[in-house]
Amino acid sequence: MQRSISGSTYLAGCLAAVLLLAGCASERQYPAPVMPAASLPHFAPGDAFSFDDGRTEKVMAVAGDRVTWSSGPNFRFVTSRNILLPRLEWESNVEQGERKLDVAPDTLWPLATGRSATLHYREHIADRAGGSGDDSIETLTCRVSGTAAVPTKAGAFDTYRVTCQRKSHSWLTAFAAERTFFYAPALGYYVRREDRYPGESRRAIELTDFQTAEPALPAGVDAMRRQTVQMALETKLSGEGLGWQAPNHVANGTVEPLRTFRDAAGRFCRLYAEQINSAGRIYRFNGEACRLADARWHPVEVP
C-alpha cells in the first residue's frame, strides 16, 4: 500500500481514484505459469514504468537500498528495493509523509508461491500548508498467492500475484484495504496493480510502456551488441530490426532504427531502440548516434 489515506485525505484519495484509475475491473483469471523463485530487484537511474492512468514512475537516484522516484513534477517518493512494501517517504506540493517499518527490506523475498509476511509500521503525514499532521499505526499482511501470465500493452509477462491486506488505526478513522500486485521478475516491477477500498469496486492500473538503464554485459557480449548497433544503423531502414544472440544463450537483443535526420553540423544521425534479454531480465532503452568521417556511428547523449 503506497499511500496513506486518513480523514479528509482518505476522502480525497477515493475521489482521485475514481478520476485517475482505470475503469472498474472485476477480478481477472490468468493462466498460471510455473516460475522459479524471484530475487529482489535492482534499480538504476533512468528506469521508468508508465501506466494506463497516465502516471510514469521514474528512478531518480539509488543509494544502497533506498530508491528515490518521481511521478510527475510535484510528487517524489522513496522506497526500498522491495517495491511491494509501503513507501518509506513521499512529498507532494500539499503534503509529506514517512513510514517506519519493523521488518527487513527483503521480507517476502525471494518470491515464491505460498510465502507470506505480516508487518507493522507507524505513519506520519504532515500538511505542507502548516496544518496539523496525522499519525497512525498500520498492519500489512501480504501473501504470494500464485502466478499469472498477464498481457499488457507493454508486452506479456509471467508474474507472481501478491495480495496485501492493510488495516489502519488512526485517531481520525480506521479502515481496511486490499492491494494486489502482479510482479514480473523479467521486468523487476509490477505490470498490473489492483486496489479495493471499502464500498468500492476493484480498480486497476496496467503497464503501457517501460524504459530501463543499459545493462552491464560481459565484454565479449557487449562487443557483439555494439557491432550489431553499427550494422543496424548502417544497413537497416527505420522500423527494421536486427537481432543478435550471444553464445550459450547468455543474452540476446534487437536494435531498431527509429528515425534518420541531419544535426546542426550536417551529420547524418539516427535515433534507435534497443531491447536486451540478459540473466532473466528485460532491458529496453533508446539511443542516438551520428555517422562521422571514420564511417562509424558514434553515440551521442539522448536529451
Q: Is residue 266 part of a domain?
A: yes
Could you give the CA distance from residue 249 to residue 170 in angstroms, rounded to a whole number?
A: 53
Neighbours of 277 (CB within 10 A): 18
- Residue 136's pLDDT is 86
- Residue 8's pLDDT is 37
For residues 147 and 295, membership in a common domain is answered with no
For residues 84 and 169, membership in a common domain is answered with yes
- Residue 131's pLDDT is 65
- Residue 212's pLDDT is 97
For residues 117 and 242, membership in a common domain is answered with no
CA torsion through residues 143, 71, 152, 243, sign: negative
Cell of 35: 516460475
Boundary-marking domain end, from 191, 210, 229:
210
Q: What averages of pLDDT result for each successive group of 10 residues across the chain (303 residues)?
A: 38 38 58 96 96 97 96 94 95 92 91 96 85 83 97 97 88 74 98 90 94 95 97 97 93 98 96 96 97 96 65
10 Å CB burial of residue 260 (0-12, 13-18, 19+) is middle
Cell of 122: 507507524
- Residue 174's pLDDT is 58
Boundary-marking domain end, from 189, 210, 231:
210
Contact 90, 3 (CB under 8 A): yes
- Residue 7's pLDDT is 37
Could you give the CA distance from residue 177 to residue 85 in angstroms, rounded to a whole number?
A: 14
For residues 152 and 288, membership in a common domain is answered with no
Could you give the CA distance from residue 53 to residue 169 in angstroms, rounded to a whole number?
A: 29
What is the domain range of residue 147? 7-210
Q: Is residue 100 part of a domain?
A: yes
Boundary-marking domain end, from 185, 210, 235:
210
Could you give the CA distance from residue 61 to residue 69 in angstroms, rounded to a whole number?
A: 7
Contact 84, 164 (CB under 8 A): yes
Q: Is residue 156 part of a domain?
A: yes
Q: Which CATH number covers residue 39?
A: 2.40.360
Instruction: Find cell 522506497 and name the residue.
Output: 79
Could you give the CA distance from residue 160 to residue 163 in angstroms, rounded to a whole number?
A: 10
- Residue 302's pLDDT is 63
For residues 188 and 51, membership in a common domain is answered with yes
10 Å CB burial of residue 233 (0-12, 13-18, 19+) is buried
- Residue 182's pLDDT is 98
Contact 142, 166 (CB under 8 A): no
Q: Is residue 1 part of a domain?
A: no
Which strand (E) or helix (H) includes residue 95?
A: strand 95-101
Which amino acid, one-letter code, is at 16?
Answer: A
Contact 289, 270 (CB under 8 A): yes
- Residue 1's pLDDT is 39
